[in-house]
């Protein structure tokens, strides 16, 4: 049996939460390996809806959840999320959740800097969530981050705060924001230490033991390939690598342990925040997709921009992320549309491209080249087999497979976890 890594194949919000929840029923351990509490997964279980930002989705299934070292952890946000899901009946504690002891922490000064920078950018803002994720990753690579294990060493914690404040307070004052007090931060981190340290461990060791014992591991990505800091629509990207290769570094396992790479894509396309979106619709169809799909960010509540499926973009994601199969979600949102369009490439200044170039100016100027397909009048909502789908819906899915050069191995037809058509079990490799 293979392990599985689940990543987004567009700009995020593809419905990864439902797919991970569905796959978690077949896994033993679910691992978050990158991102922070700027990513949200919504899981619908009966009459209960869980909105998760940091917690691995497998906790809803009663599986062991692990937050890897590739995640930047906001202690306050994590504890608030734990309290919220406990109130909904989930058992979350050190026996069900483990956190890498070398995971970097997000502090209030990170969020303050994030927001001050966005305000200073004005019309050129990137569209971050303002939660401090980017500045926390900056501190990690600059080797001044406070990591979870540091909470157990008062002298280390004090010294790291001195270095952090020397850097951040200078920046904050330059941006016209209030500086932070070391005494206040140190006191709060000292209070948080006994609440967080019981979750800490060298998770790489637990994962190695699990792999040797033949236990199934599901690696849960956040955001998506086109928000990858290297491969996405830079600079309108997140601050971490979102491709499947990051699962190894972000969890502390070898590349061979990652297993099957499953990419999640909507049957149309959405994006939250700023940045290029060639197939975006500003008409009645775009509004209809947003209403039917309930397209609002799980974390931010911001309305998502909506458009046609961009096969050229997803093909690019398939190639750079090593996606071996796709899970196509929200097919039911397209029910009843008379015709559908699929982006198959771009025209930029008279030239044709099968991929989105790296240069920001070219990305902004990209005009989609469309292929038109027939819509369908029947309903796909709740379908659990190919036989229940209208013929035109099947043709739409098959054409997407051809264009993105990857098979659709799982099809989601509603938010309910069991409304799923499985063509191939990703755990089988």
- Which candidate, 247, 366, 290, places its Cα nearest to that of 7? 247
- Which candidate, 106, 93, 105, 102, places its Cα nearest to that of 203? 102
> What is the pLDDT at residue 284?
95
Q: Are 27 and 45 in contact (CB under 8 A)?
A: no
Residue 103 has pLDDT above 80, yes or no: yes
Q: If 0-12 CB within 10 Å is exposed, 13-18 middle and 19+ buried, where does residue 50 land?
A: buried
Per mean pLDDT, which range of 196-205, 284-293, 296-305, 357-366 is the poorest? 296-305
Q: Are 302 and 273 in contact (CB under 8 A)?
A: yes
> What is the pLDDT at residue 300?
64
Mean pLDDT of 285-295: 93
| 58 or 94, which is more confident | 94
How many Å apart are CA 33 and CA 31, to the nearest integer? 6
Which residues does 109 contact at the CB level (< 8 Å), separation at least 6?
132, 135, 164, 165, 168, 169, 172, 180, 185
Summarize pLDDT for 124-165 with one digit per residue, the tens: 777 777 888 999 999 999 999 999 999 999 999 999 999 999
Mean pLDDT of 409-426: 89
- Where does residue 83 fall: left (phi above 0), alpha (psi -120 to 50 degrees), or beta otherwise? alpha
The neighbouring-strand residues paired with 372 are 341
Summarize pLDDT for 361-384 with one digit per residue, the tens: 999 999 999 999 999 999 999 999
Per mean pLDDT, which range of 40-54, 255-269, 410-424 is the poorest? 40-54
Q: Does domain 108-196 have CATH number 1.10.300.10?
A: yes
Domain boundaries, the chain: 4-101+200-260, 108-196, 265-428
Q: If one looks up domain 265-428 in CATH, what number appears? A: 3.90.170.10
> What is the pLDDT at residue 402?
98
Summarize pLDDT for 45-74 with one digit per residue, the tens: 777 888 888 999 889 888 999 999 999 999
Q: Does domain 4-101+200-260 have CATH number 3.40.50.920?
A: no
Mean pLDDT of 282-288: 95
Mean pLDDT of 114-118: 87
How many Cβ atoms are within 10 Å of 285's Cβ, its own excluded?
17
Catalytic residues: 13, 41
Mean pLDDT of 409-424: 88
> What is the pLDDT at residue 179?
93
Summarize pLDDT for 207-252 with one digit per residue, the tens: 999 999 999 999 999 889 999 999 999 999 999 999 999 999 999 9
Residue 43 has pLDDT above 80, yes or no: no
pLDDT category at 1 given cuts 50, 70, 90 is low
pLDDT over 70, % of the chain:
98
Summarize pLDDT for 319-369 with one digit per residue, the tens: 999 999 999 999 999 999 999 999 999 999 999 999 999 999 999 999 999
Per mean pLDDT, which range of 35-44, 96-105, 337-346, 354-363 is the poorest? 35-44
How many Å apart are CA 256 and CA 244, to the nearest integer? 11
- Which candidate, 9, 102, 98, places its Cα nearest to that of 56? 98
Residue 298 has pLDDT above 70, yes or no: no
Residue 299 has pLDDT above 70, yes or no: no
């Amino acid at each position: 049996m293979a392990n599985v890594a689940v990543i987004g194949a567009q700009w995020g919000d593809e419905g990864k939460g439902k797919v991970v929840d569905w796959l978690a029923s077949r896994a033993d351990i679910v691992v978050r390996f990158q991102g922070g509490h700027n990513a949200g997964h919504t899981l619908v279980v009966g009459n209960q809806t869980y909105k998760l930002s940091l917690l691995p989705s497998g906790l809803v299934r009663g599986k062991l959840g692990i937050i890897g070292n590739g995640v930047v952890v906001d202690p306050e946000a994590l504890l608030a999320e734990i309290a919220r899901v406990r109130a909904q009946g989930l058992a979350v504690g050190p026996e069900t959740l483990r956190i890498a002891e070398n995971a970097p922490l997000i502090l209030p000064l990170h969020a303050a800097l994030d927001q001050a920078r966005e305000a200073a950018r004005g019309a050129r803002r990137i569209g971050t969530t303002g939660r401090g994720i980017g500045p926390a990753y900056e501190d990690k690579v600059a080797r001044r981050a406070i990591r979870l294990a540091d909470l157990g060493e008062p002298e280390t914690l004090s010294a790291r705060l001195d270095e952090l404040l020397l850097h951040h307070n200078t920046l904050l004052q330059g941006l016209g924001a209030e500086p932070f007090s070391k005494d206040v931060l140190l006191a709060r981190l000292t209070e948080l230490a006994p609440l967080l340290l019981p979750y800490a461990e060298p998770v790489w060791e637990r994962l190695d033991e699990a792999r040797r014992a033949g236990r199934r591991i599901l690696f849960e990505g956040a955001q998506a390939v086109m928000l990858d800091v290297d491969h996405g629509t830079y600079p309108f990207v997140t601050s971490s690598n979102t491709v499947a290769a990051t699962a190894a570094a972000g969890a502390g396992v070898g590349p061979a342990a990652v297993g099957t790479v499953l990419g999640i894509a909507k049957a149309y396309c959405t994006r939250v925040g700023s940045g290029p979106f060639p197939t975006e619709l500003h008409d009645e169809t775009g509004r209809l997709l947003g209403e039917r799909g309930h397209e609002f960010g799980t974390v931010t509540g911001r309305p998502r921009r909506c458009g046609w499926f961009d096969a050229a973009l997803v093909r690019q994601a398939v190639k750079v992320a090593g996606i071996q199969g796709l899970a196509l979600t929200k097919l039911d949102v397209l029910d009843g549309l008379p015709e559908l369009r699929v982006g198959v490439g771009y025209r930029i200044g008279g030239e044709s491209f099968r991929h989105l170039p790296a240069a920001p100016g070219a990305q902004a100027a990209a005009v989609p080249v469309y292929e038109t397909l027939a819509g369908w009048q029947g309903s796909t909502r709740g379908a659990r087999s190919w036989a229940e789908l209208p013929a035109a819906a099947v043709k739409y899915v098959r054409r997407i497979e051809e264009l993105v050069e990857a098979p659709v191995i799982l099809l989601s037809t509603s938010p309910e976890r069991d409304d799923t058509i499985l063509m191939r079990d990703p755990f089988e490799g």
